[in-house]
Amino acid sequence: MMAAEKTQNWRGELRYDEPMASHNSWRAGGPARCFFKPADVADLCDFLQQLDPQEPLLWLGLGSNLLVRDGGFPGTVIFTLGALNELEWLDAITLRAGAGVTCSRVARESAKQGLTGLEFLAGIPGTMGGALAMNAGAFGGETWNRVAAVETVDRSGRLYMRQPDEYRVSYRTVEGVADEWFVAARLKLEHGDSEKAQQQIRQLLAQRGESQPVQQNSCGSVFRNPPGDHAARLIEAAGLKGKTLGGAQVSEKHANFIINTGAATAADIETLLNQVQGCVEQTHGVRLEPEVRIVGEHSPARDGA
């Protein structure tokens, strides 16, 4: 388990059996065995130095692209939201954003400064750590197109500065050094018109509100778009819009969203996801790849099922 329990040389907040349904946008799933919110990057490093090297780790921001199974996560969650929250200008066009800063805040602060290139982030309901991990994108923009460098930490609490060419980046996929996690990004922008940038953000948010079920509990897009097509089109063409299972439903507004109608379990959501995937493959011959990350253990009731 955690060597950290004996020494407790950290300043952040450590909780046990933390309900993960409170920390993901699906509002479903079981508890995390340990849950740590660091005071800052130095505190995070101190904490990691005291962990058992084999301790399972889950890095969490807004939890907007995450499903935690009903049996919970049998390890330690590192909670960055409101913790790694620094936002500073390194020069006239370079913004350093901590992993726990929301994407929408990065977009708005950049636009206020009259700098452009990150407006698309306003449409991503997550943090910069998650955006870096999956090369999040919306409305034609992608995170790593603006990355000048990233700051990472490893299991021993050592910090690194990494360059973009040290990563293999593609659509919704980022591969880099194993057992290193993002703590901040350095983003390059361009000079532009502040009012135009803020107007574009308002337009993007309005477009998102019209086309997506933003007022309902979901993870955002469930599946990656296959080459040359859209997951939502394939799901709708397979007749799956509105399909329900327990408290989970394929959104009537956007077929690539699965919503929690109020009482969905993580098992409801995962089973419906798998059914949609199987039906689309049977109907269209296309296997959709999930964009959402699924972690943790099934509830005991499912064991042996």
pLDDT tens by residue, 115-147: 999 999 998 989 999 999 999 988 788 999 999
The answer to whether residues 168 and 104 belong to one domain is yes
Q: Judge whether residue 6 has pLDDT over 70.
A: no
As given in the structure block, the two tokens for residue 266 are: 């993580």
> Does residue 3 have a pLDDT over 50?
no
Residues 96 and 206 in one domain: yes
The CATH number given to whatever domain includes residue 66 is 3.30.43.10
> Would you state the pLDDT for residue 301?
62
Mean pLDDT of 66-79: 98
Residue 5 reports pLDDT greater than 80: no
Domain containing 172: what range? 87-210
Assess contact for 293 and 223: CB atoms under 8 A: no
305 belongs to a structural domain: no
Rounded mean pLDDT of 195-202? 92
Predicted confidence (pLDDT) per residue in 241-278, tens digit? 999 999 999 999 999 999 999 999 999 999 999 999 99
CB 123 within 8 A of CB 151: no
State which of 181, 210, 239 marks the end of a domain. 210
% of the chain residues with pLDDT over 70: 96
Mean pLDDT of 162-191: 95
Give me the number of domains the chain comprises. Answer: 3
Catalytic residue ranges? 172, 221, 291
Please tell me whether residues 127 and 193 are part of one structural domain. Answer: yes
69, 297 Cβ separation under 8 angstroms: yes
Domain end, chosen from 50, 79, 108, is at: 79
Are 61 and 81 in contact, with CB atoms under 8 Å apart?
Answer: yes
Q: Is 226 a domain residue?
A: yes
Task: Say if residue 227 is in the same domain as residue 204.
Answer: no
Of the three residues 79, 109, 127, the one that is the final residue of a domain is: 79
Residue 21 shares a structural domain with residue 99: no
Query: Can you tell me the mean pLDDT for 44-62?
Result: 95
DSSP string across 220-266: S--BPPPTTS-HHHHHHHTT-TT-EETTEEE-SS-TT-EEE-SS--H
Average pLDDT, the chain: 93
- The Cα–Cα gap between 305 and 301 comes to 8
